[in-house]
Structure 1
Amino acid sequence: MVKIASWNINSVRLRMPIVSQYLQEEAPDVLCLQEIKTIEQSFPFKAFADLGYEHVAVHGQKGYHGVATVSRIPLREFSRHDWQDNGEARHVGVELLGPGKGMIVENVYVPAGGDIPDREQNVKFGQKLDFLERMTQWAGKIDRPTLIVGDFNIAPLESDVWNHKQLLKVVSHTPLEVETLQRFQDAHGWTDIGRKHIPAPERYFSWWSYRSKDWKVNDRGRRLDHMWASPELAQQSVGHSVLEAARDWEKPSDHVPLLTEFDL
């Protein structure tokens, strides 16, 4: 059994105490982090090693973005794509070398896309769509059992948001973004692991804004974080969970971790 987790941590150094709590309580074999907000030289390697996570692939940059995959299983860095096409650190891929040997785990942080869902008025929205298009071209050429995880910054289904009608013109749930993400899914035939185990229309959120004073009372969540697998790999997933309680931990991220178990 191999357990793989994904979490937009919103600064790994600031939130190392809750990362440590998560690793001790849930004990995933692999943890993919997004928005680490640090360069590689400042990454807390020792803190992870002390917890048993000695194998690390980091693609970071100062103050913004950045991704890292930490593991108890030996791994090697497999890929590093600039789907943003501007040098931002938003992706790192690894190949597992121990249990789960041969599995590719791609860790991605898709741009949020700004506030206005129009590429003419908002350059960031266009960049997001173009990022997804580059991912789609890549996905059509995959020839290995692959898991792609991370903050996709899109909630595609009606039950992935607290109010479908109110969010149709809000970036992350617009029809154009959903269609663009669907093309990415179709390019490789990805299975949405979350929805395999928590079928729609069941409520499934992974993000709640910091602006909400009591996130649980309002529950204005969105499912921005995803774990998608190649068809044959998806058949080996035997469990999936979302740790909503982590949104209440001390100094939390606005995202919560996802965890999938594979019987390999």
Structure 2
Amino acid sequence: MKIATWNINSVRLRIDQVERFLTEHAPDVLCLQEIKVAEHLFPHEMFERLGYTHRAIHGQKGYHGVATVSKVPFVEFSRHDWQDNGEARHVGVELQGAGKGMILENVYIPAGGDIADRAVNPKFGQKLDFLERMTRWSEKIDRPTMIVGDFNIAPLECDVYDHKALLKVVSHTPIEVETLARLQAAHEWVDLGRKFIPAPERNYSWWSYRSYWRQKDQGRRLDHMWASPDLAAQATGHHFVEETRRWEQPSDHIPLVTEFSL
């Protein structure tokens, strides 16, 4: 079982890139974030043609949105409003067939704005509250579960190109890192990115459009794949697909892929 996640930054704009990735890497399941499209306008045809006949889409017009597409049968399991304002940022499915019993949660955590202070930047407070709601949810999980997506936090010092320079930059501030750590501890989530690519090895998933092409490698590890401890023990590999960041008009994020022996 091969599961991938990718913040595509508009699925309709980059549908050809999604098709190329699916054709070349052939994951069984792909979780997309920031699809930026309402559910009734989702581009189903390509996925159907490539055999991704099972789809769960939680979208909205122009912003946010998540979609899980799969060759493996599943049933939609949940849609949590961890943002508490109706934004489309999560969809969960329960795999059937070869992956029967696995819960796969697809999430797009808010970026949090530019100022790391909830008193002057409500978006930052919303991000922290989103994570706290996820933490309460994690405490109650009693099924083999995987949660993947754009978490918009680079937790480790080696998860950013310059730890000291980014300590006050949203995505790497101490309060975000501490809040994410509480979420991870609530279910003893295993960070598969660091299980297979141990710190301090380079493991970036996002580069700003402003800096990447200057070849400074100013990356951050904002995208993650976490698993319940028993499920993580069945993971056999994990890698990132950086080549997509070099494609024409790419997403600023790259796909991550985890393989399981179930």
TM-score by length of 1: 0.98
What corresponds to 1:185 in structure 2? Answer: 184
Count of residue pairs brought into register by the alignment: 262
Amino acid across the alignment from 1:58: I
What corresponds to 2:136 in structure 1? Answer: 137
Q: What is the CA–CA distance in structure 1 between the aligned matches of 2:63 and 2:98, rounded to whole Å?
A: 32
What corresponds to 1:30 in structure 2? Answer: 29
What corresponds to 2:19 in structure 1? Answer: 20
2:212·2:218 contact (CA, 8 Å) conserved in 1? Answer: no
What corresponds to 2:244 in structure 1? Answer: 246
Secondary structure of 2:11's match? coil
What corresponds to 1:56 in structure 2? Answer: 55
Amino acid across the alignment from 1:16: I
Q: What is the CA–CA distance in structure 1 between the aligned matches of 2:15 and 2:75, rounded to whole Å?
A: 23
What corresponds to 2:75 in structure 1? Answer: 76
Q: Aligned residues: percent identity?
A: 73
What corresponds to 1:98 in structure 2? Answer: 97
Q: Encode CA deviations 1:177-234: one digit per residue, 9 max, x unaligned.
A: 000000000000000000000000111100000112615x110000000000000000
Structure 2 vs 1, CA of residues 236 and 85 (structure 1 numbering), >3 Å: closer, same or farther? Answer: same
Q: What is the CA–CA distance in structure 2 between the aligned matches of 1:122 and 1:156, rounded to whole Å?
A: 21
Amino acid across the alignment from 2:132: E
Structure 2 vs 1, CA of residues 73 and 213 (structure 1 numbering), >3 Å: closer, same or farther? Answer: closer
Secondary structure of 2:99's match? coil
Amino acid across the alignment from 1:238: T
TM-score by length of 2: 0.99
What corresponds to 2:194 in structure 1? Answer: 195
Q: Encode CA deviations 1:137-181: one digit per residue, 9 max, x unaligned.
A: 000000000000000000000110000000000000000000000
Give unmatched runs, 5+ long, in structure 2.
Answer: none
What corresponds to 2:230 in structure 1? Answer: 232
TM-superposed CA distance for 1:98, in Å, is 1.3
Q: What is the CA–CA distance in structure 2 between the aligned matches of 1:26 and 1:178, rounded to whole Å?
A: 32
Secondary structure of 1:210's match? coil
Corresponding position: 1:152 with 2:151: yes
Q: What is the CA–CA distance in structure 2 between the aligned matches of 1:155 and 1:213, rounded to whole Å?
A: 17
Amino acid across the alignment from 1:255: H
Q: Which stretches of structure 1, 4 residues or more, deviate above 6 A after TM superposition?
A: none
Amino acid across the alignment from 1:163: D
Q: What is the CA–CA distance in structure 2 between the aligned matches of 1:197 and 1:56, rounded to whole Å?
A: 28
Give unmatched runs, 5+ long, in structure 1.
Answer: none
Q: What is the CA–CA distance in structure 2 between the aligned matches of 1:184 and 1:69, rounded to whole Å?
A: 23
